[in-house]
Structure 1
Amino acid sequence: MATISREIRIDAGAADVWAVIGDFAAGPRRMAPDLVLDSHVDGDCRVVTFADGTIARERLVTVDHPTRRIVYSVVGDTVRPVHDNAVMQVVPDGPDACRFVWTRDVLPDDLAPFMDTAMTTALPVIARTLSRRPGSGAA
């Protein structure tokens, strides 16, 4: 099983960033509007449509508000792993900054490069979208 772990600092408070990351239904669209065209709940899953045409059906595993941690699994659509477990966590890093940690375990291993590229591409977009820099449009 391949494990991918990525992390980036975001110039915004952990509570503000968590308000977006922890939003299972609309979080993907809110955190990466340049990369995500749509994100909505369908039954016990959310369906995320990406700008490149990829569609991922993701099942919520858990949302832990006290630790600012959400866990989900890609369970189908155009991406069909045998096993997927993704964890997103927001960790405070001072009063006006936090770290966004994104870890994923995926099978088969040959899906790892695709997932790694997607995560690595998304991180700077997420940081830019959620940062409180002048002109960033962050909440």
Structure 2
Amino acid sequence: MASVIREVSIDAPAERCWALLGDFATGPQRFAPGYVIGSRLTEPGERLVTFATGDVVRERLIALDDQARRIVWAWTGDAIQPLHNNSSMQVFAHGPDRSRLVWIHDVLPDELVTGLASAMDGGLPIIKQTLEAHANQALDNEPCPT
């Protein structure tokens, strides 16, 4: 089984990143706008994700751990039908205002790893930018302490 592992530092608090990353239903469209153009539940624990490329992927929620800030899902069909697939995102706090996002994708057959790595490399800068902007926007909307 082949794996793609990507990590990125984010200038945003982990809890603000998790507010988007932990949203299974619409999170992909919210944290990767323009890269993902649609994300909706088709039934509890199942979503349909539409990418700007036109690819549509059906995914099943495997685990959602708010305390660990970790989400795991698997492709179940449509555009790409691997023999095995498992993806996870986890965000770790690095101080009060910084985070580290770890995105892992395991897949069979191994031949799919090149395309997945390319897709992840294309999406990760968008995710980073969106999470940082989301955190700054949220901070701007908070009332000033008195």
Q: Which residue does 1:117 correspond to in 2?
A: 118
8 Å CA contact 1:129–1:137 kept in 2: the answer is no
1:39 CA displacement: 0.1
Flag as ranges the 4+ runs of structure 1 deviating above 2 A.
136-139
Normalising by the residue count of structure 2, what TM-score does the alignment of the two structures yield?
0.89
Can you give the 5+ residue segments of structure 2 that lack an aligned partner in the other structure? Answer: 139-146
Distance 1:33 1:99 in 2: 20
Distance 2:87 2:72 in 1: 6
Distance 1:79 1:100 in 2: 25
Alpha carbons of structure 1 residues 79 and 137: separation in structure 2 relative to 1, 3 Å: farther
Deviation string 1:22-57 (CA, Å, 9 cap, x unpaired) is 000011001000201100001241100000111111
Can you give the 5+ residue segments of structure 1 that lack an aligned partner in the other structure? Answer: none
Normalising by the residue count of structure 1, what TM-score does the alignment of the two structures yield?
0.94
Query: Any residues of structure 2 matched to 1:91-110 within 5 Å, and which?
Result: 91-110=92-111
Alpha carbons of structure 1 residues 137 and 52: separation in structure 2 relative to 1, 3 Å: farther
Deviation string 1:62-117 (CA, Å, 9 cap, x unpaired) is 10010000000011110111100111000001111101100111001111111111
- Once the two structures are overlaid, the 10-residue window that deviates more, 11-20 or 123-132, is 123-132
Q: Which residue does 1:74 correspond to in 2?
A: 75
Aligned length: 137
* Secondary structure, aligned partner of 1:15: helix
Q: Report the structure number with the largest CA radius of gyration.
A: 2
1:132 CA displacement: 4.2
Distance 2:123 2:137 in 1: 17
Q: Greater helix share, 1 or 2?
A: 2
* Secondary structure, aligned partner of 1:62: strand
Task: Verify: 1:47 aligned to 2:52, yes or no.
Answer: no
Query: Any residues of structure 2 matched to 1:14-29 within 5 Å, and which?
Result: 14-29=14-29
Amino acid across the alignment from 1:70: I
Amino acid across the alignment from 2:55: T
% of aligned pairs identical?
47
8 Å CA contact 1:93–1:99 kept in 2: the answer is yes
